[in-house]
A and B are shown apart, each in its own frame.
Chain A
Amino acid sequence: MVSIARKNLFHDKVRFAVALAGIAFAVVLITVQLGVYLAFRANVSVLIDHTNADIWVTARGLENFDFGKPFSEKKLYEVEEVPGVAWAEKYLLAFGYWKTPAGSQETVQMVGFDPETMVGAPWNIVKGNPQDVKYFNSVFYDEAETNRLGNLPVGAETEINSHRVRVTGIIRGARSFIQSPYIFTSFKNALNLSFVNKGNTVYVLVKVAPGYSAQEVKRRIQDTVKDVDVYTSPEFSKKTEDYWMVNTGTGVALLAVALMGLLIGTVIVANTIYTSTTEHLKEFGTLKAIGASNWDLYRIIIEQALINSVIGYAVGMLVSYGAIQAFKRGHLQILLPVPVLVGIFTLTVMMCLWSSVLSIYKVTRIDPALVFKS
C-alpha cells in the first residue's frame, strides 16, 4: 500500500520538522513539569511514607506534616489503651537553627524518633549507625544537604539552637525540596534541642494490631482521645501533599506550565497541519475525483496526525530524558511512572488529532471545480 500521508509528510521536510518541534516542545514541557510535580508531591510526604506506622495522631487542626504542633505526651498512654492498637510511639518534629562553620544560621527541622524501636528512623544510611542517635546530641543529615549545612563530616561538631551537637552519620533520600533540611536524632535529643516543652510530643505513631483495619482503629482513637486529629498514613500523606501542592500554589504553577505546553503545542501543530492541508487541497480534490470518499481523505489526515504524534513523542521523550538527567545531577528525583508516560502519549495523540479537526472540516468542503483549474 502506498501511504500518501507518509509520503507527503516526508516530502515537506521543513514543515514536518516544524510540526515535530511543536509536538516535542509540548511533550518536553508536559513531561518535565509533570515529573517534577510528581517528584515534589512524593517528596513532601517522604517521611510519612517511609515510617512504619498505620496511623498518625496529631494536634487538633494541623495543616500538614511539616507544621507539627506539640501536645501532651499523656495522649500516648490514652492511645495505647485503645483496642486494636499494637503499639504507639512518640515522634517529634521541630524547627531549629543550625550553625554552619562559616557562622551563618540555617533553619532545620529536627526529627526525633525512638532509637530502641527505630520507628520513624532514617531508612537509607550512607555512613554511621542510626541507633547511635541515642548518644547525647548525636545527629544525622541527608548527603544532599551537605553544602547547605556547611560540609560537616561525620565526627564534626556544631550547634543547634546554641546546643552543641555532633554529626554521627549521613543518610540519603530524605531531602526536603520545599522545607528546611531534616536532621535526624533521638526523640529525647530532639526535645532537648528544640523549644518544645518537656512532657510534649508532636506526633503519636500507631501500629494497628493484626485483625483490625486502620480505619476502624482510627475511628476508635477519635472517639476516645480528646483534642487530637487522627489520620491513616495514606490520608496524612495525601493531606500533606495537597497542602504543599494546592495551598502554596507550587503544584498549580507546575501544572499550569504543563498546560501551557499543551496549548502552545496544539497551536503550532494545528497551524502546520492546516497549512499543509490547504497547500495539498488540490491533491485532496483529485483524490475525491478519483473516487475517494470523505472518509478516505480523513484517514489520510488522521494518519498524518498519528505519524506526527508518534515521532514527536519519541523526540520529546528523548529531549526530556536529557533534561531529567540534568535534574538528577541536582538531586531532583523526577518521578515518571509508566502510566504517566502512557498518559502523556495519549495526550500527544489527542493533541494531534484535535489539531486535525480544522483540516478535516476543510477537505469536507472542497469545491470539485478546483481540480480542473490549471
Chain B
Amino acid sequence: MPVATQTVLRLDRASKTYGEGESAVEAVRDVSLDLEAGKFIFLMGPSGSGKTTLLMLMGCLLRPTSGSVYVFNEEVSSLDEARLPRVRRDRIGFIFQGFNLFPALTALENVEVTLNLKGYRGGEAREEARKLLTHVGLERRMDHLPEDLSGGEKQRVAVARALAGNPSIILADEPTGMLDSRTGRLITEILRDLAHEEGRLVFMVSHDPRITALADQILQIEDGHLRD
C-alpha cells in the first residue's frame, strides 16, 4: 500500500571529496534531494560524474565530507561508523551491476544468508527466501549455484536478496549494465513494481536511454553536481 508523499531519504547539501590537497577529487558537490516512498527514480550521467559516490552516500556506505544525509528523518551522516551497518541492514537493499552473488551458495542460500544477517532464523529464513525468489519469478531455479544461472536470473536473485528484510529503500547501480536489452527491461520492470506496487523508494543508476520511459523522475549528474 503506497504511503503518500513520505520522505524516506533526504540529502542536504551533501558533498564528498576523496583524498586531500593536490590530489583531492570532489566527486559529489552540494547535492540536495528529497526522495519519497513509492517513487522509481533514475540517476544518469557520464562516467566519473559521481553516480556511484552519490549512491554510496545515500546507502550509508560513505559519510559525506560536508552536508547531511537523513534516512527516515534520522541523520545518519552524524552516526559513527559502527552504527551504520544497522541502518543499511534495516532500511536499505543494494543491487549491483556485477550481481555480487555469493558463488558458493545456491540462489536460495544467497537470499537465506542475507535473511540470517537480518535476524531471520532457520526455517523462517528458508520460507521467506522461497517467497522472495518466487516473487521475482525464480521458483524453478532456487537450488542452482550462481554459475549455473543466466545473467537475468542472477540479477533476479540479487533483487530477491535486496528485498530480504523488507527494506523501504532499494539502491541499484546500473543493474542492467551486464544484461541484454530485453532482460534489462524485464529487471527494470520488476524494480518499477517494487516502487509502484509495494511503495518502496527505488533509486537506480542507469546509462540506458531505452528504459528511461519507465522512470518517474530522471536526475542528471555532471561533475558531482545535480542538474535541474
Residues on A lying within 8 angstroms of B by beta carbon are 1-2, 4, 7-8, 10-12, 282-283, 286-294, 296, 368-369, 371-374
Contacts and interface: CB of A to CB of B under 8 A. Distances in A.
Nearest to B164: A290
Nearest to A292: B117
Given A12-B104, A286-B100, A288-B61, 15 more contacts: A1-B121, A1-B122, A2-B105, A2-B113, A4-B102, A286-B96, A288-B85, A290-B161, A292-B85, A296-B117, A368-B62, A371-B100, A372-B52, A372-B56, A374-B97
Contact of B86 (A289, A291, A373): A291
7 contacts: A2-B112, A286-B102, A287-B117, A290-B117, A290-B161, A291-B117, A372-B97
A372 B117 contact: no
Interface of B: 52, 55-56, 59, 61-62, 82, 85-86, 88-90, 92, 94, 96-98, 100, 102-105, 109, 112-114, 116-118, 121-122, 125, 161, 164-165, 173-174, 177-178
Contact of B88 (A4, A291, A294): A291
Contact of B116 (A1, A288, A294, A369): A1
Given A4-B105, A7-B105, A283-B102, A369 B96 contact: no
A374 B85 contact: no
Cβ-closest 3 pairs across A and B: A291-B89, A11-B104, A374-B98
Contacts, number: 86
Nearest to A291: B89
Contacts of A283: 100, 102-103
Nearest to B97: A374
Q: Which of B56, B92, B97, B102 has the most CB of A within 10 A?
A: B102
A4 B98 contact: no
B131 to A, nearest CB: 16
Contacts of B178: 374
Given A7-B109, A368-B62, A372-B55, A289 B94 contact: yes
Residue among A11, A296, A373, A374 with the highest chain B CB neighbour number at 10 A:
A374
A372 to B, nearest CB: 5
A372 B95 CA distance: 9
B10 to A, nearest CB: 21
A232 to B, nearest CB: 59
A291 B88 CA distance: 5
Contacts of A282: 100
Contacts of A289: 59, 61, 88, 94
B62 A374 contact: no
B16 to A, nearest CB: 11
